[in-house]
Amino acid sequence: MFRDITIGQYLPGESFIHRLDPRTKILSVLFFMVGIFGLKHLYSYLFVLALTLTVILVARIPLGYLLKGLKPIFIILIFTVGLHLFLTPGQILVEIGPLSITLEGIMKASFMALRLIFLVLFASLLTLTTAPMSLTDGLEKLLAPFAKVGLPAHELAMMMSIALRFIPTLIDETDKIMKAQKARGADFESGNIWQRAKSMIPILVPLFVSAFRRADELAMAMEARCYRGSEGRTRMKQLVYRKTDLIVTLGMGSAMVAAFFFL
């Protein structure tokens, strides 16, 4: 069940989107996030949908694979939709006991659901088309101006790249530990919530132990190769901000400003 998680995964490719500078892609996602919160009508989402589909097509990401990444947010989605559906005051359409569904509730719930879905889809497109290393390089470069006021830009970027790097490792580890405990008769599927929560202990303890061990080993390996933070660090692959990047960034920025105010 853990193997379905696609958030943070990278699908190597050679498409136009893959070749864009990571800064362009990060900024585009930022613009997208701001823009999507300014949308006032349901039909405005057609524009967002068209934009997202275009990016998916250009990047040649299998749609099924991308949609699978929505699975983990399913519960959050249901929760948000449920809350908005029942708790928004307004013109009552249906009444079920103390709960009532209002017209405004339906509108708000669909807005929230669409927002969440597109946010996750667009953000996954960023990680799916950008190698973790260039993603963090881009982030570091973008944060560099703030380093002057004391923001540890390099350290933040490094932490993020390590976190991304270890997602698949930890998933495999969880899978293995679950199997080992199942083989010893552990039961994760039955019982009430309390029992189920308790049955997670045999998974969580070994997982934490191995995560700390891995962190320790990684720190040691980095020190052994003389890692000492950002100071004086150079790069083999320099990021190049091309004309196309500028065009895409400006295009995305203006599209989203337009969406924010007019759609």
Partner 1 sequence: MLIELKDICYTYKPGTPYETSAIQDISFNVEEGEFIGIIGHTGCGKSTLVQHLNGLLIPSKGEMQLDGIRYFTQQKPNKDLRKKVGMVFQYPEDQLFEETIFDDVAFAPKNFNLGDGLVEEQVRNALEDVGLSYEKYKDRSPFSISGGQMRKVAIAGVLAAQPKILVLDEPTAGLDPKGREEILSRIDLLREKRNITIILVSHSMDDIAAHADRVLVMNQGKIVIDDVPRKVFKEYKQLYDMGLDIPSVTKLMLKLKNKGFDVDTEIFTIEEAAQEILKIKGGASHV
Q: Which is nearer to partner 1, 68 or 141 (CB)?
A: 68
Task: Please list every residue from 57 through 76 that binds partner 1, using CB under 8 A.
Answer: 62, 64-65
Whether 26 contacts 139, CB under 8 Å? yes
Indicate which single residue of 3, 71, 198, 242 sits in contact with partner 1 (rule: CB under 8 A). Answer: 3
Indicate which single residue of 38, 72, 152, 202 sits in contact with partner 1 (rule: CB under 8 A). Answer: 202
* Rounded Cα–Cα distance for residues 109 and 117 (Å): 12
Min separation Cβ 257 and partner 1, Å: 38
> How many chain residues bind partner 1 (CB under 8 A)?
22
* Rounded Cα–Cα distance for residues 227 and 249 (Å): 33
Burial of 131 per CB tally in 10 Å (0-12, 13-18, 19+): middle
> Residue for token digits 């202990």?
201
Helix, strand, or coil here: 214? helix
* Rounded Cα–Cα distance for residues 160 and 169 (Å): 15
Binding range to partner 1, per CB under 8 A, among 45-53, 127-135, 172-180, 248-256: 172-180
206 touches partner 1 (CB under 8 A): yes
Indicate which single residue of 177, 248, 252, 259 sits in contact with partner 1 (rule: CB under 8 A). Answer: 177
Indicate which single residue of 50, 209, 215, 220 sits in contact with partner 1 (rule: CB under 8 A). Answer: 209
Distance of CA 233 to the CA centre of its chain: 28
At 121, which amino acid appears?
Answer: L
Provide the sign of the torsion angle of the four alpha carbons 119, 124, 125, 127, taken in this order: positive
Indicate which single residue of 148, 184, 235, 243 sits in contact with partner 1 (rule: CB under 8 A). Answer: 184
232 touches partner 1 (CB under 8 A): no
Binding mask 13-52 for partner 1 (x = CB under 8 A): ----------------------------------------
166 touches partner 1 (CB under 8 A): no
Helix, strand, or coil here: 15? coil
**226 is written with which tokens?**
């003389």
The DSSP bridge pattern shows strands 92-96 and 99-102 to be: antiparallel
217 touches partner 1 (CB under 8 A): no
Q: Which is nearer to partner 1, 173 or 245 (CB)?
A: 173
Question: Rule CB under 8 A: which residues touch partner 1?
Answer: 3, 62, 64-65, 173, 176-177, 179-187, 201-202, 205-206, 209-210
